[in-house]
A and B are shown apart, each in its own frame.
Chain A
Amino acid sequence: MNISRRDFNKLVVSGIAGASLGIFGAAGDAYAAKNRVVVIGGGFGGATAAKYLKKLDPSLSVTLVEPKAAYITCPFSNWVFAGLKTIGEITQTYAVLAARYGVEVVADTAVSIDAARSMVTLGSGKVLNYDRLIVSPGIDFKWGAIPGYSQSISETKMPHAFQAGPQTELLNKQLHAMKNGGTVLICPPANPFRCPPGPYERASLIAFYLRDQKPKSKIVILDPKDKFSKQALFRKGWDRLYPGMIEWRGAAAGGKVQSVDAAAMTVTTELDVVKGDVINVIPPQRAGKIAVDAGLTDASGWCPINPVSFESTVHTGIHVIGDACIAGAMPKSGFAASSQGKLAAAAIVRLLRGKEPAQPSLVNTCYSLLGPGYGVSVAGVYKLSAEGIVEIPGSGGLTPIDASDDQLNQEALFARGWYNNIVNDIWG
Chain B
Amino acid sequence: MPSKLKILLAVCVVSSGVFSASMDAFAARNKATQPAKVAETDPRGEVLALSCAGCHGTDGKSSGIIPSVYGKTPDYIETALKDFKSGVRYSTVMGRHAKGYSDEEIHLIAQYFGTIWGKNK
Residues of A within 8 A of B (CB): 4, 7, 9-11, 13-18, 20-21, 52, 55-56, 304, 306, 313-316, 335, 338-339, 342-343, 346, 350, 354-363, 365, 377, 379-382, 386-388, 392, 394-397, 399, 407, 410-411, 413-414, 416-418, 420-422, 424-425, 428
Contact = CB atoms under 8 A, between A and B. Distances in A.
Interface of B: 1-2, 4-5, 8-9, 11-13, 15-16, 19-20, 22-23, 26-27, 29-30, 33, 43-44, 46-48, 50-58, 62-66, 92-93, 96-101, 105
Contacts of A20: 19, 22
9 contacts: A17-B26, A18-B15, A363-B54, A363-B97, A386-B1, A388-B5, A395-B99, A396-B96, A421-B55
A14 B96 contact: no
Contacts of A380: 100
Contacts of B8: 11, 304, 306, 313, 388
Contact of A16 (B26, B47, B62, B100): B26
Given A304-B11, A363-B100, 17 more contacts: A4-B1, A13-B23, A16-B23, A17-B19, A306-B8, A346-B47, A354-B29, A355-B33, A358-B47, A359-B47, A363-B51, A379-B97, A381-B100, A388-B4, A388-B8, A395-B100, A399-B93
B30 A356 contact: yes
A424 B26 contact: no
Contact of B93 (A343, A355, A356, A414): A414
B56 A421 contact: yes
Contact of A339 (B5, B44, B46, B54): B54
A95 to B, nearest CB: 16
Contact of B16 (A21, A414, A424): A21
A16 B27 CA distance: 10
Chain B's interface: helix, strand, loop or mixed, by majority? helix
Nearest to A4: B1
Nearest to A56: B46
Given A346-B50, A358-B46, A365-B93, A386 B5 contact: yes
B5 A316 contact: no
Given A335-B54, A365-B54, A425-B57, A16 B22 contact: yes
Given A304-B8, A359-B44, A417 B51 contact: no
Given A14-B12, A359-B47, A421-B54, A387 B5 contact: yes
Residue among B4, B43, B62, B105 facing the most chain A CB atoms (10 A cut-off): B43
B24 to A, nearest CB: 9
Given A410-B92, A420-B63, A10 B13 contact: yes
Contacts of B93: 365, 377, 379, 399, 411, 414
Nearest to A375: B92
A342 B51 contact: yes
A310 to B, nearest CB: 12
Nearest to B101: A381
B99 to A, nearest CB: 4
Nearest to A420: B64
Nearest to A51: B58
Nearest to A391: B100
Contacts of B48: 361
Contacts of A55: 58
Nearest to B109: A361
A386 B3 CA distance: 9
